[in-house]
């Protein structure tokens, strides 16, 4: 699966929420940099976990957060997630065949 390098700039008071959210998305923290009243969180996160990130970030920061991401590298999908993807794909094919 593709893994993205992500930088998220948020007000200081939102950093804890952002870090918790990134952990729930299988993110690996790379560091936090202070920039005045904001902080930039750097992380690597699977692209599949970032598909709906913009509205979630807006919700967590009341529209005050911004993020950027770029491709970093590929990693093997964890076995339990790979099986889930395979099962969902089979179910979709069976439903389409009906």
pLDDT in tens, 12-24: 999 999 999 999 9
Does the pLDDT at position 81 exceed 80?
yes
Sorting pLDDT into bands at 50, 70 and 90, what band is 79?
A: confident
pLDDT of residue 98: 77
pLDDT of residue 78: 87
pLDDT in tens, 18-54: 999 999 999 999 999 998 999 999 999 999 999 999 9
Sorting pLDDT into bands at 50, 70 and 90, what band is 62?
A: very high
3-class SS at 1? coil
Q: Which residues pair with 29 in a beta bridge?
A: 43
DSSP state of 4: E
Q: Which domains does the chain have, with CATH numbers?
A: 2-97 (3.30.70.240)
């Amino acid at each position: 699966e593709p893994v993205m390098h992500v930088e998220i700039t948020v007000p200081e008071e939102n950093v804890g929420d952002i870090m918790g959210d990134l952990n729930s998305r299988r993110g690996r923290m790379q560091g936090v940099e202070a920039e005045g009243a904001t902080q930039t969180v750097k992380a690597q996160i699977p692209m599949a976990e970032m598909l709906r990130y913009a509205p979630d970030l807006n919700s967590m920061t009341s529209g005050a957060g911004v993020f950027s991401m770029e491709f970093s590298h590929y990693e093997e999908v964890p076995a339990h997630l790979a099986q889930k993807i395979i099962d969902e794909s089979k179910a979709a094919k069976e439903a389409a065949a009906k």
